[in-house]
Structure formats: C-alpha cells, structure tokens
Amino acid sequence: MHSSLVGSARAAVPLYAVAPSGLRKFLAGRGRREAACLKASGFAAKEHELRLVPAASGKLAFAVLGLGAGSDPLALARFAERLPAGTYRYEMLPVPAELATLAWMLGTYRFARYRGQPKAPPRLVVPAGIDAEELSRIAGGVFLARDLINTPANDMGPAELAEAARGVAGRHGAKFSETVGAALVKQNYPLIDAVGRGSARPPRLIDLSWGNPRAPKLTLVGKGVCFDSGGLDLKSTANMALMKKDMGGAAVCLALAELVMGAKLAVRLRVLIPAVENSVSGAAYRPADVFRSRKGLTVEIGNTDAEGRLVLADALAEADGEAPDLLIDVATLTGAARTATGFELPPFFTDDEALAADLMKVSAATHDPLWRLPLWRGYESTLSSSVADLTNLPDYSYAGAITAALFLNRFVTDAKSWVHFDIAAWTDRPKPGRPRGAEATALRAIYAVLKQRYGK
C-alpha cells in the first residue's frame, strides 16, 4: 500500500470538499465558531481554495476545499499537496472513493532526485470498501513514468533507460535482453542504428518478455529517444528545451508493463523499446540518405528530426512478426498532435472499432482523456518518395499526426489489432495531482482496457 495511506487512525482530521452551491448548507452544519472562522477568512468555495479551520484547543478541527464549478475530477489532490503533516480522513466526497483516493496519492508526487529529501507527505485513512493495493499500483506506475521522463538526458540515456527496464523485469521475474550498437546492424535493425549512431552513447533495442507463452500476445512498443537535438536538421533552442521527454512513450510502456505484471494479467507480454539519442556528429545520418528497414521497405530521410517514426518502424516490424493479438505503440511523435488536441487530450489511431470504443469508454470512466483521430487513407500518397518506398517527411503541410500514424501503419501487417498513441508526456498547465513536468499520459486509460480484457 502507498506510503501516504493508512488502514486506520485515531483522531484523523476530517476533510470536506464543497461547491459554492452547497456552501450555505455546509456552514449551517458546522459549529458557530467554525462557521464564523470560515466566513471571516472569505472562504467562498472557489476552485482549489483551501482552508484549515482550528478547534478551540488550537488543534486542527477540519480542512475544507473549494470545488468551484466541480469540473476537475482530481481536485482532491490539492489536499495532499497543501496539507501539513498529519493523518486525515475524507468526511464528504464529491467523487467515488476510488477516484478520491487516487487523487490523494497523485497529489503526493514530488520529483526530488536533485533536491534534498522531501518532507513526509500527509497520510489518508483509506476509505472503506476500496482496493487500496490496486490504486497504489496505479499511482506507482504513474510515478515511475514521471520519474523516468523528468530525469534529464545526462542521467537518462539509452543505457540508463535499459537499466530502468531491467529493474522492471527483475521485480516481476521477466526476461530481459538488449541489442546494442553494432549488433543492431548485424541483427537487422538498420533504422534504429541510423538514428542513434550519431551519439557517443550506443543505441539499443530493449526487449522484455513475461507471462504464459500460450496466453494472448500483448506487445508494447515505446519510443525511447532519450534526447532529440533534431540531428543535422537541428531544432531551435526553444524546441529542444523539453526534449528530455522524448522517451515518454518508453516510460509509459515500462509503467504499463509494471502494472500488467503486478496485476498478473493473463497475457504473454512483450515490451520493445528502441532507445537512442538523436545527436549531431560526423557519424550522424543525413537528409536524403536512404535505408532499408527491418521490414524490407526502403525509407528516404526527408528530415532527421522525424526520427521517432524511424526507430519505431524497426521495433514495430519486429513486434508484428509474432502476429500479436494486440500491438500498442506509445510515442511523443508529433507536434501536430499537440496542435490538434493540446497536451491534455492525446490522440490515438486504430482501425479496430471495438478497441476504439473501449478506449473512449474507459477514458471517460478513469478521467484519463483520450481522443480518436482517423487513419485517413487519403493521405497515404503523401508518404511517397521518388527514390525509395516511402519518406519520413510527408509531402503535405497538414495532418502531421495522421501522416505519421500512416507511416507507422506501413510496418504493421500481421498484428490482429494495433493502436498508436501520440502523447505529450508532459503537463504544461499544472493542476491538482498533475504538477508541471512529466506525465504518464494515457497510462491509466490503457491499463483499464487491458485489465478489462485480460484481468482474472
């Protein structure tokens, strides 16, 4: 169970959450002195407004959080973010107890690797009737992904990402292997080698497997570009500033693997992560180069800053060769996706109508937003090259997220079902439980679908 949760406690301080419409009734139910205290403080139940109300003894009598319009399902995370050390209990909940408890745990997240030890978080008495272990597992997955993404590239290169994957494998008895450096060419992963060879840190393909070989095959492919300079098509300073997060897809896939194995879902799980650094050097790949991919398709390099789809192409071809029942790839792939739906609403692409419906349904139920965009085949021609089978720079100025998805889809032919997530892996507008910085985008929704399909 998460360290911020306790099974029971004496004299836990009650927590209330109130919308403006219910404020008068709430005040009427408090003691005269406490109601007067709240009124004197100007408490109006505005969104994220928190008040600590003392008892006559000077101890804390209760805390109350304003909900405003009540549009934020994770608003109760503000309690864990702002309350002093102590033990608390929910007294009045505007959302289901499971969501309220998850919000509390998400509110305790701190990335403290480069700072002093954070203060011990306040603790919450677990509400009756919920599965605290499962909720703790989910929060732990979110924190794992956030920690990996928040770690700067000097401490999170391809080798370090591989060690993180090895750690996940070790915790669950999974098999771990990696193909590194020159071995990528020998074992026919030419696009992963091409993107990563410009860096002094060798590229690699990370491979993790777990579960009963006779169970349904679930394969996760995560983009692991540990830093993206843009290569010879160098990014601007502003566009390079957040590129430590370009391995966010890999981080989410490792977190998903942690959840799947921890919950012992009935699958044969495989995780493939092409881990590279896209750097500038004499060995770097160039615009107009042509490479034959693992699948056999030749690819002309139109832009070295469209590297994510290249490393994913080889990994997807490897995954597809096993004809998995479900193939999921997760990647911080295009700025076009951010332009289309923003940081908070990641798009996904699939031709599997049942899977798309399940994803949209659990997205709403878990309050982990997703939005389906079309694999519009009318844009296939934009991938044409005059010298190769296709180019990584579509001949079209629009629909960049769609054309990138179509590029990836060219490397998936045998999987029974495939879905691609184009995520931000970053929170640009902080909210309760979602501080500015790394985010495990789409993790909770994808896990909910997997648990629904493969849970015992």
Return the pLDDT at 334: 98
User: Are 438 and 294 within one domain?
Assistant: yes
**Looking at residue 237, which CATH number applies to its domain?**
3.40.630.10
Q: Is 357 helix (H, G, I), strand (E, B) or coil?
A: helix
- Given a cut of 90, is residue 199 above it in pLDDT? yes
The yes-or-no answer on residue 338 being catalytic is no
Task: Please state, in angstroms and rounded to a whole number, the distance separating the CA atoms of residues 24 and 42.
Answer: 13
Return the pLDDT at 117: 77
| Residues written for the chain | 456
- Given a cut of 90, is residue 123 above it in pLDDT? yes
User: Are 221 and 333 within one domain?
Assistant: yes
Return the pLDDT at 8: 83
Last residue of a domain, one of 83, 104, 130: 130
User: Are 236 and 382 within one domain?
Assistant: yes
User: Are 140 and 276 within one domain?
Assistant: yes
User: Are 123 and 38 within one domain?
Assistant: yes
Return the pLDDT at 31: 86
Q: Which domain holds residue 63?
A: 5-130
- Given a cut of 90, is residue 92 above it in pLDDT? no
- Given a cut of 80, is residue 120 above it in pLDDT? yes
Return the pLDDT at 121: 85
Last residue of a domain, one of 102, 130, 158: 130
User: Are 171 and 64 within one domain?
Assistant: no
CA torsion angle 309 312 317 322 (round to 10) = -140
pLDDT band at 43 (very low <50, low <70, confident <90, very high): very high
- Given a cut of 90, is residue 431 above it in pLDDT? yes
The yes-or-no answer on residue 223 being catalytic is no
User: Are 197 and 110 within one domain?
Assistant: no
**pTM exceeding 0.85:** yes
Please tell me the total count of domains within the chain: 2
User: Are 92 and 155 within one domain?
Assistant: no
Return the pLDDT at 318: 98
- Given a cut of 80, is residue 118 above it in pLDDT? no
Return the pLDDT at 61: 94
Catalytic residue among 30, 235, 292, 361: 235
Q: What percent of the chain has pLDDT over 70?
A: 100
Return the pLDDT at 42: 96
Task: Please state, in angstroms and rounded to a whole number, the distance separating the CA atoms of residues 224 and 397.
Answer: 26
Q: Average pLDDT of 295-321?
A: 98
Instruction: Output the average pLDDT for the chain.
Output: 96
**Looking at residue 119, which CATH number applies to its domain?**
3.40.220.10
Catalytic residue among 201, 309, 338, 410: 309
Return the pLDDT at 11: 87
Other CB atoms within 10 A of residue 284 CB? 19
Contacts of 167 (CB under 8 A, 6+ apart): none
Contacts of 304 (CB under 8 A, 6+ apart): 230, 231, 232, 233, 278, 284, 285, 286, 287
CA torsion angle 292 298 304 308 (round to 10) = -80
User: Are 212 and 105 within one domain?
Assistant: no
User: Are 271 and 228 within one domain?
Assistant: yes
pLDDT tens digits for range 362-404: 999 999 999 999 999 999 999 999 999 999 999 999 999 999 9
For tokens 């590279």, name the residue: 276
Return the pLDDT at 241: 94
User: Are 148 and 266 within one domain?
Assistant: yes
Structure tokens at 264: 């012992």
pLDDT band at 456 (very low <50, low <70, confident <90, very high): confident
Last residue of a domain, one of 115, 130, 145: 130
pLDDT band at 58 (very low <50, low <70, confident <90, very high): confident
User: Are 251 and 207 within one domain?
Assistant: yes
